Structure 1
Amino acid sequence: MDKKEFRVLTKYWFLKGKNTVEAETWLDAEFPDTTPGTSTIKDGYAKFRRGEMSTEDGERSGRPKEVVTDENISIK
């Protein structure tokens, strides 16, 4: 499973009123090879408690996806 799917499952357990230990125990039982770490689940719960209910990746600062190089600059 990918990160977004685990975020959705973590949100589901949060909305059911379960704590992080219960969520982690269930995820580990169902997906033993790919379960996210404890801190990832706790970070997700903290985000949901703050009211940030999106399961999408957030914007990140840093290097742009496309870089200007001599190869992608057309000289007229």
Structure 2
Amino acid sequence: MAKREFRVLIKYCFLKGKNTVETKTWLNAEFADTAPGKSTIRNWYAKFRRGEMSTEDGECCGRPKEVVTDENI
């Protein structure tokens, strides 16, 4: 299962009022081999508590994937 799909499931549990332990137990029962770790679930719960309800990856600074310069053209 993709990371984004797990994030949606974590958000679902958060909105249902489950805590991180209940969420981890449920995900382990349903997706034993691929369930995210405790720290991942805690991090997403913290984001949801801050009001960041998006399940997408955020922008990250750093080197762009493609660099356009006169030398490359």
TM-score, structure 2 length as denominator?
0.92
Structure 2 residue ranges without an equivalent (≥5) = none
Question: How much identity, in percent, do the aligned residues show?
Answer: 79
Indicate the residue corresponding to 2:36 in structure 1. Answer: 36
Structure 1 residue ranges without an equivalent (≥5) = none
| Mapping of residues 1-76 of structure 1, within 5 Å | 1-68=1-68, 72-73=72-73
RMSD: 1.5
Query: CA 1:66–1:17 in 2, change beyond 3 Å: closer, same or farther?
Result: same
Alpha-carbon distance in structure 2 between the residues aligned to 1:56 and 1:15: 17
Give the residue type in structure 2 aligned to 1:22: E
Alpha-carbon distance in structure 2 between the residues aligned to 1:61 and 1:49: 24
Q: Which structure would you say has the larger Rg?
A: 1
